[in-house]
């Protein structure tokens, strides 16, 4: 069992910072999802992340930067890891950091090579969560310049939005191998928006809480969709974020028709819908918030909870159209693929 400590306790933050400095793993709450954190400049520590997740080591990790408006400033972190920063990327950092935005930048050679999966670029993010920042600032005082942290789930599985999710994912790790800081439920609930800034213009690699419209308004450039040349990104694999139960996405009519057609021998199902449906007896039901932000916050916890109820299928009502729902729609499509 991993060690689970309340992030309210300053001694827990310090203990976690010392673990990062010593090259072991920390479960770190962020505003998006929990991360599995390690010193980005320590290849052995980074290797532990890949091993614990079962993630291919050529899949790059995001490096998280400290910012406290005083001794620690994300600008110094960017200087350390990035070879150059295009003007539009500078504008995006200025507008959205600290916050749920990751920028892919040309990597300074010789830094965070293992964390970057050997690519000549590096993903940087300055998280807004107060516990993440307290940890990053404390770790910086021990010489840790950046913290590599993918979502704290095993490869391909549902991302964690509570400390309990993280402990459950890494049950097999001993308490000296993983300390999880409990900072409560993540307020955003889906991973950061990722913008590739290595190709002369902004390219959206992963939709999130910050929409293309907001990005464009902040940097004055249209954000393009990714094409086949995009770099490796696990979150962009067609099948990802998958619970054990099979996820099916259907509009309200198709969902009702599927419920109507169910027989006694049918596989057990759970539903997550905004619309009220009939003939749901014996079916585990959760209500999807009709607000995109609230649905994002609930998404991964709901998938985990319905999965844990032991059903063999989870039927989800297709999210509404519109950019505000892009992040939720994207995660659900990958969970269903
Ligand atoms: O909100 C988040 O971004 C969370 C929290 C913990 O910060 N982290 C997260 O990490 O979602 P992860 O590893 O699950 O997803 C990071 C994505 C992956 O799809 C990865 O391939 C991509 O970012 N990525 C990281 N560095 C990259 C790079 N240099 N080039 C292209 N993609 C990169
Ligand atoms: Mg992930």
- The pLDDT of residue 57 is 87
Look-up of token digits 């500078």: 90
* 160 close to ligand 1 (CB < 6 Angstrom): no
Per residue in 103-127, pLDDT (tens digit) is 999 999 999 999 999 999 999 999 9
Atom 10 of ligand 1, nearest CA residue: 150
* Residue 267: pLDDT band with limits 50, 70, 90: confident
Class of the CATH-defined domain 246-336: alpha beta
Residue with CA at minimum distance from ligand 1 atom 13: 150
Residues 6 or more apart whose CB falls under 8 angstroms from that of 263 comprise none
Q: Which residues surround ligand 2, an ion (CB under 5 A)?
A: 151
The finding on whether 117 has its CB within 6 A of some atom of ligand 1 is no
CA dist 186 and 296 (Å) reads: 10
Residue 227, number of CB atoms within 10 A of its CB: 8
Nearest-angstrom CA–CA distance, 236 and 223? 17
Choose the residue to mutate in 53, 233, 242, 330 for probing ligand 1, maximizing ligand atoms within 8 Å of C-beta: 233
* 201 CA → ligand 1 middle, Å: 19
Our CA dihedral for 210, 215, 218, 223, rounded to 10 degrees, sits at 180
Ligand nearest to the CA of 240: 2
Report which ligand 1 atom has the smallest distance to the Cα of 230: 31
> What pLDDT is recorded for position 161?
98
pLDDT confidence band for 154 (50 / 70 / 90):
very high
HSE-CB at 91 with a 13 A cutoff on CA atoms is 13
CB 193 within 8 A of CB 102: yes
Ligand 1 atom at shortest distance from the alpha carbon of 159: 14
* Smallest CA separation from ligand 1 atom 18, residue: 233
Is a pLDDT exceeding 80 seen at residue 224?
yes
Task: Report the interhelical angle of 292-308 vs 326-336 (nearest 10°).
Answer: 20
Q: Is residue 191 within 8 Å of 297, Cβ to Cβ?
A: no
**Residue 229 confidence (pLDDT) above 60:** no
Domain limits, the chain? 3-225, 246-336
Max distance between CA atoms of the chain, in angstroms, equals 64
Rounded to an integer, what is the distance from CA 78 to the centroid of its chain?
Answer: 20
CA of 5 to the centre of ligand 1 (A): 25
Distance 259 CA to ligand 2 centre (A): 32
Question: For residue 232, what pLDDT is reported?
Answer: 53
How would you label 34-53 residue by residue, b for 16+ Cβ within 10 Å and e otherwise? bbbbbbbbbeebbebbbebb
CATH number of 3-225: 3.90.870.10
Q: What percent of the chain has pLDDT over 90?
A: 89
**Predicted pLDDT of residue 60:** 97
CB of 207 closer than 8 Å to CB of 188: no
CA distance 291 to 134: 31
Q: Which pLDDT band, with edges at 50, 70 and 90, does 41 fall under?
A: very high
């Amino acid at each position: 069992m991993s060690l689970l400590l309340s992030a309210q306790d300053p001694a827990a933050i310090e203990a976690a910072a010392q673990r990062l400095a010593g090259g072991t793993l920390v479960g770190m709450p962020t505003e998006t999802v929990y991360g599995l954190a390690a010193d980005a400049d320590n290849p052995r520590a980074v290797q532990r992340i890949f091993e614990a997740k079962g993630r291919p080591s050529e899949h790059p990790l995001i490096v998280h930067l400290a910012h406290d408006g005083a001794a620690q400033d994300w600008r110094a972190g960017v200087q350390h890891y990035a070879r150059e920063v295009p003007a539009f990327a500078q504008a995006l950092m200025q507008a959205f950091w600290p916050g749920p935005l990751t920028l892919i930048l040309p990597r300074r050679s010789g830094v965070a090579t293992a964390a970057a999966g050997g690519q000549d670029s590096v993903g940087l993010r300055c998280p807004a969560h107060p516990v993440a920042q307290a940890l990053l600032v404390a770790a910086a005082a021990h010489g840790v310049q950046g913290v590599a942290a993918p979502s704290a789930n095993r490869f391909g599985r549902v991302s964690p939005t509570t400390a309990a999710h993280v402990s459950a994912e890494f049950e097999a790790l001993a308490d000296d191998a993983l300390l999880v800081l409990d900072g409560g439920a993540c307020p955003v609930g889906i991973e950061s928006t990722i913008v590739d800034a290595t190709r002369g213009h902004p390219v959206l690699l992963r939709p999130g809480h910050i929409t293309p419209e907001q990005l464009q308004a902040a940097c004055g450039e249209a954000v393009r969709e990714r094409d086949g040349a995009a770099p490796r990104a696990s979150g962009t694999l067609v099948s990802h974020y998958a619970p054990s139960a099979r996820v099916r996405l259907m509009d309200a009519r198709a969902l009702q028709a599927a419920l109507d057609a169910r027989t006694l021998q049918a596989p057990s199902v759970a539903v997550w819908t905004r619309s009220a449906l009939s003939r749901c007896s014996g079916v585990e039901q959760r209500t999807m918030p009709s607000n995109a932000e609230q649905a994002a916050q609930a998404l991964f916890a709901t998938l985990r909870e319905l999965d844990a109820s032991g059903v063999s299928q989870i039927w989800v009502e297709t999210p509404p159209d519109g950019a505000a729902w892009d992040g939720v729609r994207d995660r659900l499509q990958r969970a269903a693929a």
